[in-house]
Amino acid sequence: MTENQLIVVTGASTGLGAATARELSRQGFHVLAGVRRERDADAIRAAGVEPIILDITVPEQIEALAARVAADPRPLRAVVNNAGIQVNAPVETLPMGEWRRVFEVNLFGHIAVTQALLPALLRSRGRVINISSIGGRIAMPTYGAYAGAKFALEAVSDSLRREVAPLGVDVVVIEPGGVRTEIAGRGIATATDLATRMTPDQKQRYGSLVRAINTLMDTGTASGLTADAAARAVARAVTVRRPRARYPIGRDAAVLLRLARFLPDRMLDRISAANLRRHRPAPAAV
């Protein structure tokens, strides 16, 4: 009976995390939904959705989550590691503090939550669901930090899967393409802000590239899946009897990942460059 099982969803304030929490509660699970602010807790609180204040970079809040799970008699069915940020800038221009922040949220925070909840998952023979991205398999220009953390999350997921599968715990990676959520808009705003801090020489080198990536991100998100549709795919990964190791979500993810599997790197470089040329701003008239 699903109502007798817990699920933890991190990053549940908005977007895919919030939609996943609601979809799993609709299916009868009791969802502990990690949010960072009280106002987000008020927005998501509902029957079957219990908000938990959780910043996955704060050890004390992770410890409190683990204590909440340990005190509950219901088994922990799954942990959905969804929290994340998107920061886009050329490798040369992104400050080291931003590199560390991206990895702290998009990689180390997930590892910390997983470590804290693995004892409960081992007892219940539960499941770890790591929300990656097509950026965890293909790194576009300006996606160095974001894709680097997602590539690392995929590697950690492979290692963990092989460690805990003999113990009865499944580890599943979700690889969404474009999803219509707030993260892309926030990413564009962050990329635009970071671009203003580039030196004049860096703006000459990368200014049009950043604008092209922002346009591509905006159009890709607008044509992507709804958060509710993506959440249903995540819920299937949680509930299916024999999950696959990876689930691409969306037609764009399926196509790009298939291309990456069969095409040489230089061919992918040319395809990426041609795609970006369509989005670069026209040269200013002389």
Give the span between the Cα atoms of 86 and 105, in whole angstroms. 10
- φ and ψ at 284, to 5 degrees? -65, 140
Active site residue 146: yes
Q: Report which of 124, 118, 114, 77 is spatially closest to residue 240, judged by C-alpha positions.
A: 77
109-123, pLDDT tens digit by residue? 999 999 999 999 999
Q: Which tokens go with 82?
A: 């969804």
Q: Would you tell me how many other CB atoms lie within 10 Å of the CB of residue 38? A: 10
Q: Which of 143, 146, 206, 247 is catalytic?
A: 146
Q: Is the pLDDT of residue 156 over 50?
A: yes
* Domains of the chain and CATH, by start: 2-277 (3.40.50.720)
222-260, pLDDT tens digit by residue? 667 889 999 999 999 999 999 999 999 988 888 888 888
Average the pLDDT over each of 18-32, 40-54, 172-186 and give the range with the smallest value: 172-186
